[in-house]
Copies of this chain bind each other. A is one copy, B any other.
Amino acid sequence: MSDLTSEEIARRAGDALWVRDKAAQSLGMELIAIGPGTATLAMTVAETMTNGHETAHGGFIFTLADTAFAFACNSHGLVTVAAQCSITYIRPGRAGDRLTATAREISRSGRSGIYDIQVTARDKVIAEFRGHSRTIGGSFVEGLADPKP
């Protein structure tokens, strides 16, 4: 074990993930906050993220939510992957919109977790995402001894 606080573990986990997450970087995401079981990221809808109906492609809204999910479920410092995710689209997003995805932990039991992510734009909810995670390995955070999940 280590004497890191859970907030410090989350911060270090966020730093470690961010460096390696080329997808988040290439899409211009911003990591706004990370804590134990939580994460907030933002991204602006570029022209290249629109689809055949000229609204934000659902795939990019999903990708932002999925990234917030990944940061939140890895915030305990243990290698954790997405097993199953679902998204409901509530309102369309548009090019130029600043999207914010806020993830919170609903449940964590054994190796399985559930996280809810809300995506907003212009102060309105545009999508609700629920992610199911699975912890598959030990720690990826330096200074955190390798606890069994």
Residues of chain A whose beta carbon lies under 8 Å from any beta carbon of chain B: 16-18, 20-26, 47-54, 57-60, 62-64, 66-67, 70, 74, 79, 81-92, 106-107, 109, 112, 114, 116, 125, 128, 130, 132
Number of copies of this chain in the oligomer? 4
Task: Give chain B residues whose Cβ lies under 8 Å from the Cβ of A64.
Answer: 59
On whether the beta carbons of B63 and A60 are closer than 8 Å, the reply is yes
- Using known A-B contacts A84-B87, A106-B128, A125-B107, determine if residue A24 contacts B53 with beta carbons closer than 8 Å: no
Task: Please report the C-alpha to C-alpha distance between residue A115 and residue B121 in the assembled complex, in whole angstroms.
Answer: 21
**Pairwise interchain contact A51-B70, C-beta atoms closer than 8 A:** yes
Least Cβ distance of A28 to chain B in Å? 11
A89 touches B79 (CB 8 A): no
| Chain B residues whose C-beta falls within 8 Å of the C-beta of A66 in the assembled complex | 57-59, 62
In the bound assembly, the distance between CA atoms of A79 and B54 in angstroms comes to 12
Q: How far is the CB of A80 from chain B (nearest CB, A)?
A: 9
Chain B residue numbers with a CB within 8 Å of A112 are: 83, 90
- Min C-beta distance of A94 to chain B, whole Å: 13
Instruction: Give the residue name and chain of the B residue nearest to A124 (CB).
Output: B109
A40 to B26, CA, bound (A): 26
- Given A62-B63, A128-B114, decide whether A23 and B53 contact each other with a Cβ distance below 8 A: no
| 19 CB-based A-B contacts, threshold 8 Å | A20-B52, A20-B54, A21-B50, A21-B51, A22-B47, A22-B48, A24-B51, A26-B49, A51-B70, A53-B79, A62-B63, A62-B66, A81-B92, A84-B87, A84-B89, A85-B87, A90-B112, A107-B125, A130-B130
